[in-house]
């Protein structure tokens, strides 16, 4: 999810009966495993390439990735729709674009293959950890 070329483990969290609580992203760096909590709407539709959609409202959304920054995970928006006082502006890689260019970028994002999700069992965890260690 941070586009550094190394895989992360993403756990979907359920708290109480809330299956849409969010995610825990586990990242290994310098011999330490770091965990970053990401709330549900801040990381939707995770794709195999680590990018994902996000939404903070009906008109404020987009897709991008996250990078670790100290003890936080900072969002990098590749495509964003931002509203302010009834106006909507669209951005692609930080540059203002038309709504149609933004919508085309969203369509391209939706066509990417989804990340593969596994049930958290001893067998699947062993298999995943083997892949990461290679």
At 65-93, the pLDDT tens digits run 988 777 777 888 999 999 988 899 999 99
CA separation for the pair 27, 44 (Å, rounded):
19
Question: For 86-129, what is each residue's pLDDT tens digit?
Answer: 899 999 999 999 999 999 999 999 999 999 888 878 887 777 66
Residue 114: phi and psi, rounded to 5, are: -70, 155
pTM for the structure as a whole? 0.80
Q: Which residue has the tokens 């995770």?
A: 46
Backbone angles phi, psi at 5, to 5 degrees: 90, -10
pLDDT (tens digit, 9 = 90+) per residue, 27-68?
A: 877 778 888 888 888 889 999 999 999 998 778 999 999 887
CA–CA dist 40, 8 (Å, integer): 17
Residue 18: the pLDDT is 84
Q: Under a CB-based contact definition with an 8 Å cutoff, are residues 24 and 35 in contact?
A: yes
Q: How far, rounded to the nearest angstrom, does the alpha carbon of residue 103 sit from its chain's CA centroid?
A: 19
């Amino acid at each position: 999810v941070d586009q550094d070329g190394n895989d992360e483990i993403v756990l979907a969290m359920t708290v109480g009966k809330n299956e849409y609580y969010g995610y825990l992203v586990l990242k290994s760096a310098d011999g330490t495993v770091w965990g970053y909590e990401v709330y549900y709407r801040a990381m939707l539709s995770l794709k195999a390439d680590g990018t994902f959609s996000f939404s903070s409202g009906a008109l404020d959304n987009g897709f991008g990735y996250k990078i670790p920054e100290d003890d936080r995970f900072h969002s990098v928006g590749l495509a964003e729709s931002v509203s302010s006082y009834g106006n909507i502006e669209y951005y692609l890689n930080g540059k203002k674009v038309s709504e149609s260019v933004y919508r085309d970028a969203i369509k391209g994002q939706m066509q990417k293959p989804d990340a593969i999700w596994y049930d958290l069992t001893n067998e699947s965890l062993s298999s995943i950890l083997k892949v990461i260690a290679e």
